[in-house]
Amino acid sequence: MGSTASRDAINRVGRIARKVSGPYFRAVHKCLAFLTTVVLVSLSSIQLLRCQHQVVPVVPGDVRMEAYLPLLANRHVGVVCNHTAVIEGASGGVHLVDSLLARGVKVGAAFAPEHGFRGRAAAGAHIENGVDPVSGIAIHSLYGRTKKPTPEMLAGLDILVFDIQDVGARFYTYLSTLHYVMEAAAENGLPLILLDRPNPNSKLCDGPILDTNFRSFVGMHPIPLAHGMTLGELATMINGEGWIASPCDLTVIDCTGWNRSMDWPVPIAPSPNLPDANSISLYPSLCLFEATRASIGRGTEHPFGCVGYPGFPNGSFQFTPESCEAAPSPKYEGQLCNGQRLLADSPTEAASPAMPAMPAELQLGHLIDYRLAWLLESDSMLESNSRTPAVDGAPSVDRPAFIDRPDFFDKLAGTDELRRSIQAGHPIETIRANWAPGIAAFKERRAPYLRYPE
């Protein structure tokens, strides 16, 4: 197509030049013809590069069935998955369990993480054992009373398959579920196949390193709050760093066509309160608000897409949390909240002068600004044991702290140093400088386990 256009353009130039005589115009004709050819060939090359870029899709591990189906032949398989374990294809998505059963794989049981096998349960809700109504297979809950597969759950199985979409935050509990599955697999002599998926927050490696004194189900490993790794990479790191007593017999089925600099539009919402790319991008920074007096929009159209509380003085956005399937009892249910609507990819209003919404680092500014506004509104500069002065002889009144669940805040942060720094009024630059050495050391430590280029 490009060569035909080039010939037509050159002929048009020739017809114009032939209408005038003289060596000068013949020279101009040759020059114009050459330049026209160069431009059109360049445009054709650019178009070819675009086409080549478009035909290299990102393929998650579960789609690459030719890589792992042979490993499942004649074996009884346990599948650790949720609603994100969908194999996308030309005719739409098919759940991994349904796809395996259709291909004659002997699926003996499924194991469900937080939010359940179909991903509809609210955050923190206990998941019960049951039977999948679609496939009829037994479902064992790994969120609630039991977070680690028991020998009884694993009885009769020969191999495990893990397929869950993560979002790259240490406190997102799918990573903790993976840890316990690896530990149980090692203890019971079962190999584990992990079907890897891109990390939508792969560019973000930031935040305090977890102090193991604050280890919990919302943070089990000495990694940053936002680690920038896929679950496949983290699984190899768990093995390699000895974070489980005995290494798991692990096979990772890599994604293809993806690198760490690429955006990954998650095709299925990974949990009820992360419904879109905006909430997924904001989640690592906003989750700390869960341990404060502020709401991050659970029970609204914008969970993890807004922040505020009743009476917040500096926001123009208003929202009223209401009970819903994703948030049965949201903070400030039925109360009008003032605050901000946050967008991950554009500037937004802030409590203090405008700041970028979410750069490629954790955004502590909102947390610090909201705490300051709370303190100013309370006429107090102390967050704990603060009291307002007596008015007209009335007794003083205790003012609640902005970080009203300090133990939970410390578990989310993986340390008490962040909370103490915020309460002491330290500037963001100081806070970030304190964890910078840990981030640098972690990046060196994780390097051998990275499976995808920058």
Give the Å distances, CA to CA, from 290 to 145, 367, 408, 412: 23, 11, 9, 9
3-state secondary structure (DSSP) of residue 226: strand
Which residues of the chain are modeled with pLDDT < 70?
1-55, 89-92, 118-127, 345-360, 378-399
3-state secondary structure (DSSP) of residue 83: coil
User: Model confidence over 84-96: pLDDT tens digits?
Assistant: 999 976 456 899 9
Q: How far apart (Å, rounded) are the C-alpha atoms in residues 346 and 340?
A: 13
Q: How far apart (Å, rounded) are the C-alpha atoms in residues 19 and 14?
A: 9
Encoding tokens for residue 326?
């994703």
Give the Å distances, CA to CA, from 206 to 154, 157, 214, 226: 37, 39, 18, 5
User: Model confidence over 139-168: pLDDT tens digits?
Assistant: 999 998 899 999 999 999 999 999 999 999
Work out whether strand 337-341 and strand 250-253 pair parallel, antiparallel, or are unpaired. unpaired
Strands (DSSP E) found in 283-366:
306-309, 317-319, 337-341
CB 278 within 8 A of CB 301: no
CB 18 within 8 A of CB 10: no
Q: Which residues, other chains included, contact 97 with Cβ-Cβ below 8 Å and sequence gap of 6+?
A: 79, 81, 85, 107, 110, 132, 135, 137
CB 343 within 8 A of CB 363: no
| Order of all β-strands in the sheet with 76-81 | 130-131, 138-141, 106-112, 76-81, 159-163, 192-195, 250-253
CB-neighbour burial class of residue 184 (10 A; exposed 0-12, middle 13-18, buried 19+): buried
3-state secondary structure (DSSP) of residue 154: helix
Select 61-268's CATH number: 3.40.190.10, 3.40.50.12170, 3.50.50.60, 3.40.50.720: 3.40.50.12170
Encoding tokens for residue 103?
């291909």
Residue recorded with tokens 């500014």: 365
pLDDT for residue 40:
39
Q: Which helix (H) or strand (E) holds 100?
A: helix 96-102
Q: How far apart (Å, rounded) are the C-alpha atoms in residues 149 and 184?
A: 6
Return the closest-CA partner of residue 85 out of 101, 72, 74, 71.
Answer: 101
- What are the b/e assignments for 261-299, b being 16+ CB within 10 Å? eeebebeebbbbbbbebbbbbbbbbbbbbbbbbbbbbbb
The torsion angles phi and psi of 355, rounded to 5 degrees, stand at: -135, 160
CB-neighbour burial class of residue 75 (10 A; exposed 0-12, middle 13-18, buried 19+): middle
Q: Which helix (H) or strand (E) holds 408?
A: helix 406-413
Strands (DSSP E) found in 132-232:
138-141, 159-163, 192-195, 206-209, 224-226
